[in-house]
Amino acid sequence: MNTQTSVEIPSEPASKKRLIPTLYMVLGIIILLALVGLFIWGALWLAQNQAPNIEAVRDIFIIALALESCLFGIVLIILLVMVIRLVNMMEFEIKPILEKTNETVGMVRGTTTFVSQNVVKPVTRANSYMAAVRRGFKAFFGNPDNLLEE
């Protein structure tokens, strides 16, 4: 009987289809460069013709950036407090639970070893001796079940 199995290796497709066609990537890069150029040109034109307005907008953005940095500082402090609480919980709540669990597993292992050596092995040995005695009686005197049926 021939039990050989053949494993077919899938072949690579002749042309891999890209998720984003190359034409879309080129058009996207060209449009992105055009938008960056327009933004730079607009900023320079506004700086020449509308300098006071640009300074006011700049000042507003500086104030907004300062408020944002204060908000990030508060969020970082809250995050630091949460990390400290997590570390304390790990140290003082979870670590003792793990130690008690380890201790319990050790006790279970010891109990299992004790029961195996002092209960299971003697019972198994006694059962094997009883089976040997029964087999010996059957060999010498015949099967007692057959005697009862007659």
The full set of domain ranges for the chain reads 61-140
Tell me the whole-structure pTM to 2 decimals: 0.43
60 sits in which H/E element: helix 51-89
Over the stretch 78-100, which tens digit does the pLDDT of each residue have? 999 999 999 998 888 888 898 99
Highest mean pLDDT among 16-20, 64-68, 123-127: 64-68
Distance CA 127, CA 99 (A): 40
Helices 22-49 and 51-89 cross at an angle (nearest 10°) of 120
Residues in the chain, how many?
Answer: 150
The distance from CA 128 to its chain's CA centroid, rounded to whole angstroms, is 49
Distance CA 81, CA 90 (A): 14
Q: Is 142 left (phi over 0), alpha (psi -120 to 50) or beta?
A: left
Neighbours of 138 (CB within 10 A): 13
In the chain, beta strands by DSSP E:
none
